[in-house]
Structure formats: structure tokens, C-alpha cells
Amino acid sequence: MRVLVVEDERVLADAIATGLRREAMAVDVAYDGGSALEKTSYIDYDVIVLDRDLPVVHGDEVARRLVEQRSATRILMLTAAGDVDDKVEGLGLGADDYLAKPFVFIELVARVRALGRRSAPALPPVLERGGIRLDPGKRLVERDGKEIVLTKKEFAVLEELMRAEGAVVSQEDLLDKAWDENIDPFTNVVRVTMMTLRKKLGEPQVIETVPGVGYKL
């Protein structure tokens, strides 16, 4: 899942980003509304965690523009104002969900995951294919009933392959969904991650390389 955190309090923004990355999400950060709009112009995010009171371009205006663009990105709006009227106004601007500060981080994670599921075609909460069972909520992977321990990136890559339901996923798409904007597009990190993932999944191999195109499961 690709997430953009937009928050002008840098310590809070970086803390949210770090926590979401630990949940195997690819996370970028913007510290003002102008930077957020710039990033959304060339990156398709699944979810944006959007502070309402932003410098440069207000969070309300960011939400309005995304709605006007008919963006499929889901918006979780954050604000220090948590009364009912503020929530109604925020949702009226186009936000899909609303969370008042201060918040409990596990609730933020749950809301981001729920919005991420809504941004994609409906799929069962537990993914199963080729004898592999992946539970995104519990971060659990099993093959033929045996648990397999994966790193966060291996888990994210496998999840994207399983969500594709047999379609080919390009290296660019995997970089986009499992890594953040700081990754070198010419890196071999996808190939290396795929090697270790295949080894952990064992025989017979279920991940196929489609030369010059990508990978499929």
C-alpha cells in the first residue's frame, strides 16, 4: 500500500511515517499542502493521511482539488478540532474518514488499512492463491498450513502479487507500492527481494518471472 502523510508538525509526520512503514506500507511525507499536491500529481497513492491545518495550501483545499480531479485516493483527515461540526465539515470536503488529535496509533493504522481496501477492487480480507494464505491484518503468511516468516518488504511484495490475482506486476509497480519515493528506480532491490521470497516460499516455485515485463503468482 502506498501512503502519503501530509503534516506540518515534522516530528509527528515522521513518527507517523515510521510507524506505518513498520506495518509494511510504502510511505512518503509532505510538510505542507503545496508539496502534497505536487506529489499527488505524479504518484498514485492509495491513502493520504491529511492534516487539515496546513501551510502554503490548506488541507481543505488539498482535499477539494483531489475530489475535483476524481482521484481514487482515499483521504483520512487529521485535525486538532474533534467536535461533530468539524467532522461533518471535513467529510463534506471529500475526506473519506476523520480522526481527531491526539489519537491512538493503532486506530490510525486500522483506519488507513480500511481505506486502503476501499481504494482497490473488493478482495477477501485473507488472500489465498497457489496454496499460500496471506492475512494482511495479522501480517501472517502460510503455505500449505505452515507459517512462513517474511520481512516487511517481502510481505509487501507478496501481497501485491496476490492482489493481482494472476496478472503480471511490473518491477515499477512493485517499487511504487512496496517502497517509497526515495528508492533508486535503477536498483536491483526488487530482484533481490524476489530471490529471498522465492527461497522462503519453497518448492514448487509459485512466482513466475515474465522476462522484460515483471512477475506473477
Concatenate the DSSP letters of all residues of 91-159 into one string: HHTT-SEEEESS--HHHHHHHHHHHHHHHS----SSEEETTEEEETTTTEEEETTEE----HHHHHHHH
In a domain, 122, yes or no: no
Whether residues 11 and 72 fall in one domain: yes
In a domain, 66, yes or no: yes
pTM here?
0.66
85 and 18 together in one domain: yes
d(CA 15, CA 144): 37
Q: Which of 57, 82, 117 is the last residue of a domain?
A: 117
Residue 131 has a pLDDT of: 92
Domain boundary among 55, 89, 117: 117
Reported as a single tens digit per residue, the pLDDT across 15-35 is 999 999 988 899 999 999 999
Residue 141's pLDDT is what?
A: 95
Whether 175 and 83 map to the same domain: the answer is no
What's the pLDDT band for 207 if we cut at 50, 70, 90?
A: very high
What's the CATH number where 198 sits?
A: 1.10.10.10
Q: Is residue 91 part of a domain?
A: yes
Radius of gyration of the chain (CA): 18
Listed range (8-17, 56-65, 67-76) with the worst mean pLDDT = 67-76
| Number of structural domains the chain divides into | 2
User: 26 is in which domain, residue-wise?
Assistant: 2-117
Specify whether 144 is located in the same domain as 176.
yes
What does the pLDDT look like over 184-201, one tens digit per residue?
766 788 999 999 999 999
For residue 107, pLDDT beyond 70: yes
